[in-house]
């Protein structure tokens, strides 16, 4: 498993080659239009980016780690119209599209049709790579603790630099480490004999670059949105490694908060 340089994507290499991305939020433009903000439809642009990405990585599968669509309660009119076409087009570039539902994917099965494989929200475990995927908004299945790495989306982490029009918003990865045993006991409120070692929590940036994102500097103040994994307290946010899309390590979150907060 490795980060795909220059992209908010992971590449799984065994037992198949799969690109994993999170937070596409297809159809988010409809909400903006309801607020009086007009933006061009982004699904075609996202489709082209994904097609180029799987071609460049020679991937056989695409894994969407939650929030394929935007409307929370169910498919909006726009989503019902464009998502089947979107998935059908993706199917021309990969053998399989795998979708793990996120908190914005209410009734997502209504629009997946035959164009995608639906996975439970509590996670997907790729044993050969010892990596688990779950969107991050629900407690993961206990079997995911076999993994050395748990990759999640949901938070749309960004590093904000400057303010106003001169400010920049940079999508970033967050990499944290914690005790598997402590995580197991905190999540499931029961003893976890035989569980040992550390696990890496990798929080993925949103694939949709037009999303506002959530400032990592303020992340520790937002318990309601962090999800059950971070809320266990097993992972020290100040020690989180902040990584840019090009792979550059920008430092620890604690240090960046001191400098930029």
Tell me whether residue 233 is exposed, middle or buried, using C-beta atoms within 10 angstroms of its C-beta: 0 to 12, 13 to 18, 19 or more: exposed
**CATH number 1.20.1070 given to 2-260:** no
pLDDT digits (tens, 9 = 90+) for 213-260: 889 988 866 666 789 999 999 999 999 999 999 999 999 999 998 888
Do 151 and 167 touch, CB atoms closer than 8 A? no
Residue 93: pLDDT band with limits 50, 70, 90: very high
Give CA–CA dist 238/255, Å, rounded.
7
DSSP string, 84-129: HHHHHHHTTT-SEEEEE--TT-TTTHHHHGGGSEE--TT-EEEGGG
On average, the pLDDT of the chain sits at 91
Q: Among residues of the chain, what percentage have pLDDT more than 70?
A: 95
The CA–CA distances, whole Å, from 162 to 126, 159, 166, 174, 248 equal: 40, 10, 6, 20, 20
Buried b (16+ CB within 10 A) or exposed e, 25-62: bbbbbeeeeeeeeeeeebbeebbebbbebbeebebebb
pLDDT digits (tens, 9 = 90+) for 138-185: 999 999 999 999 999 999 999 987 665 556 889 999 999 999 999 999
């Amino acid at each position: 498993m490795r980060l795909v340089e220059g992209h908010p994507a992971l590449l799984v290499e065994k037992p198949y080659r799969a690109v994993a991305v999170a937070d596409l939020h297809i159809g988010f433009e409809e909400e903006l239009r309801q607020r009086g903000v007009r933006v061009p439809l982004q699904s075609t642009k996202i489709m082209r980016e994904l097609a180029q990405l799987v071609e460049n990585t020679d991937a056989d599968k695409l894994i969407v780690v939650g929030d394929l669509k935007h409307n929370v309660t169910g498919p909006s009119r726009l989503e019902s119209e464009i998502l089947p076409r979107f998935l059908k087009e993706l199917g021309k570039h990969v053998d399989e599209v795998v979708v793990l539902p996120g908190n914005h994917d209410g009734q997502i099965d209504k629009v997946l049709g035959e164009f995608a494989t639906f996975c439970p929200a509590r996670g997907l475990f790729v044993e050969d790579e010892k990596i688990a995927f779950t969107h991050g908004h629900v407690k993961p299945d206990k079997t995911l603790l076999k993994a050395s790495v748990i990759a999640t989306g949901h938070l749309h982490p960004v590093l904000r630099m400057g303010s106003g029009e001169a400010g920049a918003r940079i999508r970033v990865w967050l990499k944290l480490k914690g005790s598997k045993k402590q995580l197991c006991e905190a999540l499931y409120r029961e003893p976890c004999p035989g569980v040992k070692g550390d696990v890496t929590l990798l929080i993925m940036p949103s694939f949709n670059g037009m999303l506002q994102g959530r400032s990592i500097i303020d992340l520790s103040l937002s318990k309601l949105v962090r999800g059950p994994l971070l809320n266990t307290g097993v992972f020290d946010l100040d020690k989180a490694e902040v990584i840019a899309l090009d792979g550059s390590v920008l430092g620890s979150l604690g240090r960046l908060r001191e400098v930029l907060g």
